[in-house]
Structure 1
């Protein structure tokens, strides 16, 4: 139920002139006054920056229907009479009725306009695009008409708003219509032998970015296109964990109601709140998306007084089954004390909407608003309900908690453009029996065609023409083949509009080939920053932003397969520590993917092989922790999990701030899920990182990634390649070489020389223990990535404590040391790296490595 809009008053700030600071105060008091003045200015600055930015609509029509005078409501709106609004109303048999004693919240309900025949209100708009339409009904008592029995329809040119509608009491309807022209009509059509009436109506401009072009489908997982071609009716607008917010406190004149009525089990949720001035909107979230009061309150999981805090908080919203719905969920982390410690899942009608949700990876700050948009198909509306649930993600460390700040549920128009009933604005009805038969016939034909197509694929698989790759464009394999019900974000407010480079809904922005050529300077050779079996990676510039452009080689069987796998995986993944897909190009049979550019390149380049400044031990720990978080998300972010299968230092990329992100998902595989403990598959990977158990049994598990990550940790510590055939046989394989030295208690003899003197022994010991556990012979003996992450965070705490001169024992590591560690802790800057020193004390080392291992790998399909 909606309230009236509020016209915000401008903020007036009085300027203090320097002369006014002299005469009223003696010089002796100036020293105490100036700090006070600066504090006062700071308070003003904070207050102003925290205040929501009001939205000024180009069009704002407020009509008091049937009134003979203007009416100003308490929230500052002025409704003009439709008698004075010449040209607005075209109608025959129109009547004015009034009741001074009407029991309405405002005087706009004291009168009404009644129609016995069709009537149309026409508005000339300054611009097309999104507009609010709000209709107010109260069946006031009259001597002539019994308005509570009135039955009528309401249409616009774009949608049917109401069909066979009757108002028995105070009713407010709110719609969001994407108007196609500057002439906008609202038509009232009485049913036979009945009347239509309206007390007040509003037509006003809504922000163009309020709803984007694309959304995220709940199931089947994928991108929903054409939202700006839809019409919406507001069904629910909920301030979760907070109080009622009236239209006076919302820049778009909306009302937000408390969630208590919709909360299924109240003792499972606990309300949280903070001061509104701590809420800071990021650049890409306009303050009109939701008021600060929405983001300053939340529901979190109540204490269940159990060891395992595992349950879901549930909200239920009654809806009509035959319509699709647009659900917007509002989030703002006001419960965490540090970044990256809150991971949770979101479900809608039993389907995974958001899995392993880490607000920190999106916002980069606490108390920062974010929203996620999900489109729910009518086929998923069971028992006439939309059920929203939140619960903790299955992570080994960190608090078990989940939050929700706000919910908006909008009904979307059906196939004939109706938001109410089976008739569209053009009078066309939804086909009944003929429609069902047609759907059944089409469905049967599609299924039959699919079987025939699959059969043809099997028959022809081994006899494809040589130019098959060139003739099958990117579009033929763009859609995910088996995303199923896996974890995926709804459409985020970040990059949700195609006008931005960072449009990452689904597969992101679709670039033209000319745009790609222009941004890469026609694939200039000097712009190549990577080469692989798929083709080349180029640096490019789009809209002033640097990007990485991966161009597939159509002649490469490996490249096509890896591209297919990579886009399937990236359509399911979104995390701070995973490289993000920006968009794609499939013109001219091209296979091109566009990613965020990681300016500091691969981790390997900073460890050895390039003349680059060495990383400090703290940097290496933080990078290792970031990569571990990315892998942990892959393994646990969905019920099935994902195995990267090619973890190595060249696939860990660093951004401007040396934040680590996992990249290259071309070899990734879906995990075995709960029905099996491994995936049987051909052995693929990279020499030196390959899990020996996977190699022997051809059984892939997430512990194969753990083994590879153990090798990465040794590269980080020792600054040398995983395999170096130029060295002696004992030293060729880093994993075996380093573990032999660790077993002798002399691992410090082979670490990167630039770390000597700056690395805390206890920190290195904990780090080396983590690496050793990762490299266990059997997967069952290796830790999970969550356990590895925990130990690395502990190692970082030990290092920071020693740098800051702390003497107290750290017995329990936090779950988020990178976020909680003081930024002031600075390690002594390491000197430029000398040539790598290889210890000569190799007596007694095991011969089980080196060239023998390389020979063992000679028949492997490596990269």
Structure 2
């Protein structure tokens, strides 16, 4: 099936007369990739480049490479007409070669492949002919060098597996080569999951399931922008070669410092230097003009494309003065675009995604902007930047009609295209009708009344615009909602600033994807943990919304309590109870802390299991945590374990459903392999992740450790191998050696192995896991009491011939003392022992 062309349009505006810099202006933001693999293939030494990037040598990258036959390094002392030293060497493969990388996190990643036919005596690289594939997508099919020049092919792929491979596969009788490889994390904000279909008009979902190849990236009306001015390492070319005709356009520019980025946008999407220049209509504001400015691009019309158009009104003198049309392949993309009506301000970035089915694709691809030709103000149209990315087809190919393994795209494509087209068309009509009705019924003061707190209302109760208030109305509304809907205390920004001593860096007790966590002291002297959202974080309003919605309706001894929140001045701040002993991970490894006893570890695991069991079963509709890991299990001053961080949580499927279809989120090393493959989430996904936590508690090592030999990198795979050999005791934390009752460890290991079953249907529920962990704890305690009794007997026998009575171990059915006082009732009347039968044993016989 031919997939869809995505055209992503971004608009931004600035007033050249404006001399001040808005409070929303963003400086060029940095981005630190968690995965950052840079390889200079064929080079004997590491190669540093500008921007502190270092491409490692073949020797330092040999652990990533596996080949089925010999490979050859070739290099030259110097090369002419190449922009970077990474093109001075290459690696040649006689047979298939796989570069396999251990990924630190799921999500969007750049792949950049660098090619230059280095001259050498043995091979003429112009004769090379080969394919390049990943785990599931063909990137290049039958690649060969047409001219002796350098080239780079750039891709954007959504990685959902812990190990990711790039494969070079020579055609029969030929060979493959590569000069340099980049595999680098990209920010999640770069591409969303939903776009607007251009033909048929409607909503298109599922963009995160595609892989993209960069075809063009253009800076309209300005000079070339290199990676030094783009923190994601992108290069933006000039637009002159693509203007048809060039005379139809003139350039305009402003200082990049005036560019604003409102909520939902970021300099990571496009840097200020792109928005600060524009191509506009020649002879702008001449009332009789009615032509369009046109750009033309050569594309493969059998594929779909993602195009991101960036606009910034740097030519208008006032709000609501510029209205113009946008066309894609001569079809109306946007009619009467008024950027300031959307953003509410001048110099503000805006972007929009379009999806165009490849069946209406044409070569060349044309992008046009032109005046509205009505008496609405200036007769002008502008464009600041453009990105065009190819989308993989239905068989997972970005080059040709065959996917991985030679799978053809022929067959069901026409029927599938028709079905998808009909569904999109139907959805478009319904969606447009609903939008029209909602728009006609909107209140007159809708722009003023929208605020960040609208999402705190019940689902569908208000407008979906978040954090848009410009006055104290939002704060007053939030205080009212806080008091009436159980959302906890509303804090003013000033209160939290004072509680954290003006966000003192010394008060930072944690750093996460959402932002920093500060230790604070509020007015009544209570210590709290204050999580302040970073506006440029990859996690944002959705995670913030989920966190409040989950914790405001749940109360349990083993869930971290939400005390309150702040939404003032577009801030996203949550205030939690302070957990004095921090995350479980810190006590197991990585920090200089005293080792935990086996009993302590069991009690902590039991507490976390109770919290998860309550999540899965305690609410009317269960909740799936989706990010269970040792850093999200926090310990209070008494080492009571509590589950934390619910930003990725999802409602569990209803009784009529078996799973929730959703993009893969979570942390590598903990992710359910079935969830990986199918993108189908269930509560058994939490069970798998919890099984990895149990192994961390037993072995005191990270879930993923790339510095270890390949077979030991993944804790779950490595530990299960030893378990199946019956030698699990060989890899446990050395501090536990000789201190664990064998029966207790066996019961613990048995529960862990069941958690890590390949398929969710074979895994136990959290209630069953809780039962087994409490049983393991009782076995350990019974063993400890038995040893104490024997030691006391021996001591008394050697000390005196008098016969004394000594303590008797508790009956086998007794609840461990650490659990006897836990029968508290939550705010919903659900007993903390929501499954009391799991702790009331008649004997120590397992079930």
Q: TM-score range by the shorter chain?
A: 0.3 to 0.5
Task: Give the TM-score taking structure 2 as reference length.
Answer: 0.48
Larger Rg: 1
